[in-house]
Structure 1
């Protein structure tokens, strides 16, 4: 790798500011859409399935392209590809802001996923060229804090924008941030590359994207079409075949892009599984909660963003406190306890009723945040701590990819479960067929139909059906977390694994800020 002498150049801190802006944008873009979905569902007429695709289109593309994006930066220049990623993200944001149709929004989100996949690994991989070992830890801490700060900022910024502007403003806010990032990268970042890195395997990349896309499509479409529908069965079978072909190809490759042999490390395998399951629960929860807060409890978008803070606050506090707890009790005990807390919070949340009010929700949200923080951060740290130094980069890439897959499946599976329950329990007696079908699309659509029909009964039925569906989703989350806790307690390695990789290795740190 070409290393710049800019470690003595005061401009390096300005360059870090550009990277911070990039990661901050990605951080709040991951949560800003969740608050906007109910508003967009009302104004664009999006069904629950289409809302799932608006969230998942970004995550699927992001997960599929993250590994090849990092390799492209290694081979063709990290600054060049980082600028390209920011440019793609900017264009995608503009298309999303100006879209007047749900399908265009989904396409824009998928296009933004390409940009996100380029930005995330490359923003961290340029740090060694900017900072010496004595400053790199501080720089990593700053960029990690920026990404973590984006998570709670997303709902608040999104809520404020939706209260003052149209829904497209949640996309448009990315444009100036990305433009500043591009300008700063052009003038401040040195170019670095590693021509010896593995070549990008186009076929493996295509297998990843199509296999994951087919799986998500089948899960999202199943509630409406039925699990026995020919199209759902064909897409499910195609997903199995494509993902199996990917695994076989990568196992046989001399220099694999997706190094499956890393899963032979017991500590890496089970810590990665725990972190992936936590992301499954978190993503599903962030999908169902905003609609409950807005449509059922009647809060506006900004108020919804503020009311998600207890979970974000609990997550950030626990993430900061996880280190000392791991040092005292070990990673296995910490991860297991965090998952038990998460299970308790989800099971408590499943007791929510239409009349519970926000106070009860804030209670279990706070506990949820603590559970997330004390499980996902030590799990990621433990996964990479078991790997030798020369596998840290590929290990972090595999971990981040699997976590994004867990997030995508969480949105698809839990969203589909909610959609099916809501449609089945919604009382549309007396409504015309078309109005009844529209009301079953989502709780937002049901409230719009109820308002037009002046039907208080339909609105009450929609609230009841949605809360019941959310309770079942939380129950599933609680059971999944509890099973994960038992597996972690039984299968994670004992004691604290000695870290064999340098903690400032960019590949390793890439997971820390993504919690």
Structure 2
């Protein structure tokens, strides 16, 4: 009874809107931090000497840890106090940002990103789960809308803020910008948020958490290292085997658990399975695009970091416009038609982008980026909403957690697989004839490295070859993205149910839907 009274008091407390402001600041920070690094990677590659594989790790270290810890993080908040765990998450995110800003080499940056992933995994689900304790039913929809808008706003802000910082400060500033935002969030949580918990929630399964983290880590490691070591390398094959064994053990353990963290039985529902598959494939494509585009805009087209951020806006704008216009279109044509059409539009944009040449210029890129953004918006939002709309009330939490985890896994594999494909094609196509062995090896690391070597040696031919090789590799990546989107469109058209989710069911999952729907960003 005391817990209920405290919650009711909090809902009448005028400070609740200040508390919401703190949560908005936290979600905004996480939002633009997901895209801010993509713009910084070419700069960091030049100053830290990072290879394409190391750049993939800088991006993926956060995503892998985030995906692995999302479910146990939510359960920790339920059991030990959501405010306490939210403050802990913001503290870890702040500490990781400081380490990243002060890092002197690539390994420390990767470690910092992984540490930030732990904090992000705690903040994302818990920022939403405290809303019911702050707002009554009459205000909750408005609060959810505000916090979800903050999540979405982080998408276009990341590249712009990152580009401006890189033009005026050193690369560590893209990490340092998180510190004051996280500090504000911590202070507000301490003074404004009530403590809530749910001791009856499932216990955190340490073994399942370890199996998830090590299984995903082994898989991503094998994919990233394969282009350099070779796909038949014993270590690469061993890591693929370890990943398969660990993830199989995870599935078997969760299927036997009485109250599993990862409710695999939900995948037996056709509506949930194929909507989740569509949303995961969309994240696979989106994360791959955001990884390969900034080096093209900076190294090949010659724009600075801020200009690169601005030039990613057509995709972000298309995504946000489509996401906001989805509801009336779904009401008119049904979710299956909209998801399928969105994926076809996305496939068309990727296939159009695969025709990019060194001389295409930014106008052509802006065209297919805009189309891609519209395809993303019309596919991922109804897919996520449709998946969660199939869930019964008592499975809303576990279902949303599973979807968020699958989405992050799609993003991690997208960066790893498409980045590795790009690295392999680039190295094969780069003409290093006549270069010293060490210079040729360095030039093959990335397009940024090839330009630096070309400048040092005064070789315009190497720079031109690097541009041609990178654009060809980007075209191959976009072709794969287009094929993946077409396959997803066919699956959606064939297997998604026609019916729109029942209002009562979708109402019950609204607080859990917002993050995965609006947070289609990494």
TM-score normalized with structure 1 length = 0.99
Q: Secondary structure at the match of 2:507?
A: coil
Q: Secondary structure at the match of 1:249?
A: helix
- 376-385 vs 388-397, which deviates more? 388-397
C-alpha contact 2:388 2:509 (8 A) present in aligned 1: no
Match among 134, 138, 141 for residue 138 of structure 2: 134
Match among 202, 220, 226 for residue 224 of structure 2: 220
Counterpart mapping for 1:219-298 below 5 A: 219-298=223-302
User: Would you say 1:8 and 2:12 are equivalent positions?
Assistant: yes
Quote the residue 2:44 is aligned against. Answer: 40
User: Would you say 1:69 and 2:73 are equivalent positions?
Assistant: yes
CA apart distance, 1:377 = 0.2
User: Would you say 1:511 and 2:516 are equivalent positions?
Assistant: yes
User: Would you say 1:423 and 2:423 are equivalent positions?
Assistant: no
Q: Secondary structure at the match of 1:427?
A: coil
Aligned partners of 1:495 and 1:8: how far apart in 2? 39
Aligned partners of 1:510 and 1:352: how far apart in 2? 34
User: Would you say 1:377 and 2:381 are equivalent positions?
Assistant: yes
- 495-504 vs 182-191, which deviates more? 495-504
Quote the residue 2:358 is aligned against. Answer: 354
Quote the residue 1:437 is aligned against. Answer: 441
C-alpha contact 1:394 1:507 (8 A) present in aligned 2: no
C-alpha contact 2:39 2:305 (8 A) present in aligned 1: yes
Quote the residue 1:146 is aligned against. Answer: 150
C-alpha contact 2:443 2:451 (8 A) present in aligned 1: yes
C-alpha contact 2:77 2:84 (8 A) present in aligned 1: yes
Over the aligned positions, Cα root-mean-square deviation in angstroms equals 0.9
CA apart distance, 1:441 = 0.1
Match among 321, 326, 330 for residue 326 of structure 1: 330
Quote the residue 2:102 is aligned against. Answer: 98
Quote the residue 1:209 is aligned against. Answer: 213
C-alpha contact 2:318 2:372 (8 A) present in aligned 1: yes
User: Would you say 1:200 and 2:204 are equivalent positions?
Assistant: yes
User: Would you say 1:113 and 2:111 are equivalent positions?
Assistant: no
CA apart distance, 1:290 = 0.2
Aligned partners of 1:510 and 1:57: how far apart in 2? 21
Structure 1 residue ranges (4+ consecutive) displaced by more than 6 angstroms after TM superposition: none
Q: Deviations over 1:293-332 (max 9, x none)?
A: 0000000000000000000000000000011100000000
C-alpha contact 1:93 1:175 (8 A) present in aligned 2: yes
Q: Deviations over 1:106-157 (max 9, x none)?
A: 0000000000000000000000000000000000000000010001000000
Q: Deviations over 1:49-85 (max 9, x none)?
A: 0000000000000000000000000000000000000
Q: Secondary structure at the match of 1:405?
A: helix
Aligned partners of 1:126 and 1:69: how far apart in 2? 14
Match among 456, 463, 481 for residue 459 of structure 1: 463
CA apart distance, 1:507 = 2.4
Q: Deviations over 1:371-417 (max 9, x none)?
A: 00000000000000011111111100000000000000000000000
CA apart distance, 1:503 = 4.9
User: Would you say 1:125 and 2:139 are equivalent positions?
Assistant: no
Aligned partners of 1:180 and 1:387: how far apart in 2? 36
Aligned partners of 1:394 and 1:19: how far apart in 2? 23
Aligned partners of 1:199 and 1:213: how far apart in 2? 24
Counterpart mapping for 1:307-318 below 5 A: 307-318=311-322
CA apart distance, 1:508 = 3.1
Quote the residue 2:452 is aligned against. Answer: 448
Match among 69, 77, 84 for residue 80 of structure 1: 84
Gaps of 5+ in 2: none
Q: Deviations over 1:153-188 (max 9, x none)?
A: 000000000000000000000000000000000000
C-alpha contact 1:136 1:504 (8 A) present in aligned 2: no
Aligned partners of 2:368 and 2:242: how far apart in 1? 39
Aligned length: 515
Aligned partners of 2:421 and 2:390: how far apart in 1? 36
Aligned partners of 2:463 and 2:300: how far apart in 1? 9
Q: Deviations over 1:444-491 (max 9, x none)?
A: 000000000000000000000000000000000001101110110001
CA apart distance, 1:514 = 1.2
Aligned partners of 2:412 and 2:233: how far apart in 1? 22
Quote the residue 1:404 is aligned against. Answer: 408
